[in-house]
Amino acid sequence: MSAASLTLAGASWRAPRGPVILQPVTLNLPAGRVLGVVGPNGAGKSTFLRLVYRYLKPANGAVLIDGEDIWTMRARDVALKVAAVLQEQPTDFALTVREIVDLGRLPHRGGLVRSDARDAAVVSAVLDRLDLHGFAGRRFGSLSGGERQRVMVTRALAQEPSLLVLDEPTNHLDIRHQLEVIRLIRNLDMTIITSLHDLNLAAAVCDDILLLQQGQAMGFGTPDEVLADDTVSRAFGVLARRERLTPSENSHFTYQLNI
């Protein structure tokens, strides 16, 4: 497993027989970076993520992973490189946690081939990593929202991707599990693309930020470059002020309605 670079070369998306939802985006993310995708509701964050994990095909331009256009690659080869944890959770509630996590191994074996010892070892290792071993035999449907979210992260890690896409990964999680997932994101040896609503979290966790507003990229760069008070205020339609907390030097945004 190693990290992969991501390039968007003028990639845009248009709804079928509808308007352009995402205007052309061009960016180059070196391998191993953590990219946070931020912006108000309806800005196009999920659409951007769907282009990256090859769910949506760009109307124009291309998405490249390690320099290769993902739409000229076989779907299975993309699945060997890219895993996604989405807001929508699977409905196979009758499966056990171990069975759900084992589904992450599917791209590594052809068709109906059964799990082998290596698959079992990877599944056990990722269950341990997310502290879910005690849940392995539980039915997915019997878990809480936060436990399900951790299972979905675990399944994605079982895929051993080089690029991990996360849609609001801390949703449903209590404070401790939020911190654990954030620490995990920072420590993974892969490229991460994550949408986040919490700008404080985005500034603390991400190497780079893509700010979207009404389907347009308003900024791409380090959190300090992109998340300036006036830019955040304009994008979200609020008065935003960023302070530095001492001694951590972490950013802390406060907001008020500008009426």
Ligand X SMILES: Nc1ncnc2c1ncn2[C@@H]1O[C@H](COP(=O)(O)OP(=O)(O)OP(=O)(O)O)[C@@H](O)[C@H]1O
* Residues that bind ligand X in the complex, under the rule CB under 6 A: 15, 18, 21, 39, 41-47
- The minimum distance between CB 7 and ligand X, in angstroms, equals 20
10 or 42: whose CB is closer to ligand X? 42
Task: Give the containing element (helix H, strand E) for 165.
Answer: strand 163-167
- The minimum distance between CB 129 and ligand X, in angstroms, equals 28
23 or 178: whose CB is closer to ligand X? 23
DSSP state of 6: E
CA distance 55 to 153: 18
Would you call 92 helix, strand, or coil by DSSP? coil
Quote the crossing angle between the two packed helices 145-158 and 117-129, to the nearest 10°. Answer: 140
122 or 205: whose CB is closer to ligand X? 205
Q: Which residues contact 234 (CB under 8 A, 6 or more apart)?
A: 213, 218
46 or 191: whose CB is closer to ligand X? 46
CA distance 102 to 96: 10
String of DSSP letters for 230-248: HHHHHHHTSEEEEEE-TTT
32 or 61: whose CB is closer to ligand X? 61
21 or 157: whose CB is closer to ligand X? 21
Q: What are phi and psi of 37, to 5 degrees?
A: -105, 115
- The minimum distance between CB 17 and ligand X, in angstroms, equals 9
How far is CA 72 from its chain centroid?
A: 23
- The minimum distance between CB 203 and ligand X, in angstroms, equals 18
- The minimum distance between CB 18 and ligand X, in angstroms, equals 5
CA distance 18 to 239: 33
- The minimum distance between CB 52 and ligand X, in angstroms, equals 12
Contact 59, 83 (CB under 8 A): no
46 or 162: whose CB is closer to ligand X? 46
DSSP state of 114: P
Contact 65, 163 (CB under 8 A): yes
- The minimum distance between CB 15 and ligand X, in angstroms, equals 3
